A = this chain, B = another copy of it.
């Protein structure tokens, strides 16, 4: 729980509001949060947030930005856990992507669906670019081709589409689907290792 409420001055309200919204989004869905409820969780009046955020959109925007940081950090850590060119890097990236989606499906959805209060913001654009570049570099190192090549981008895009679709379908069907691993062979297949994946490499849906 968040409460603690020492005294008049809260000290950490900005962060706690973001955290409260993050929790609410996971508990009640992408639109299940409100300033009012976040304030209740932080033990604060509903006027307090306006010392830290311009309005509703602004609070959500910063919440999503925090989430994107976490997301990118996971990807980075995953990539760093194996040496450059190691195929396991790609698998690790895919796993990180999926596990974030499963751990924080609510915010994951918002990250990819909420364009209104986000688009055009420099922070977000920069983060997107970083993420894309990270993927490109891993793919390029694996194939031993230039990062800026068309082939790199095509491979990275194919990987991204697959993992993204896989992640979304997983969180959508969370009720019936058991915990599934990322189909590793499929990732390697997509990135250009010309081995047709074996039948058992893609987990079925039931």
Measured CB to CB, the residues of A under 8 A from B are 29-31, 109, 112-113, 115-116, 119, 149-151, 153-155, 157-158, 160-169, 172, 174-175, 183, 186, 190, 192, 194, 196-197, 199-205
Contacts and interface: CB of A to CB of B under 8 A. Distances in A.
What's the number of copies of this chain in the assembled complex?
2
A203 B160 CA distance: 13
A161 B180 CA distance: 14
Secondary structure class of chain A's binding surface, majority of residues: helix
A204 B168 contact: no
B169 A160 contact: yes
Give the interface centre of A31, A161, A175, A197 by most chain B CB atoms within 10 Å.
A161
B194 A194 contact: yes
A150 B186 contact: no
A183 B156 CA distance: 13
B165 A166 contact: yes
A154 B199 contact: yes
Closest 4 pairs between A and B when the two form their complex, measured CB to CB: A165-B165, A164-B165, A154-B202, A161-B165
A204 B202 CA distance: 26
A127 to B, nearest CB: 14
A151 B201 CA distance: 10
Contacts of A162: 158, 161-162, 165
Contact of A175 (B115, B192, B200): B115
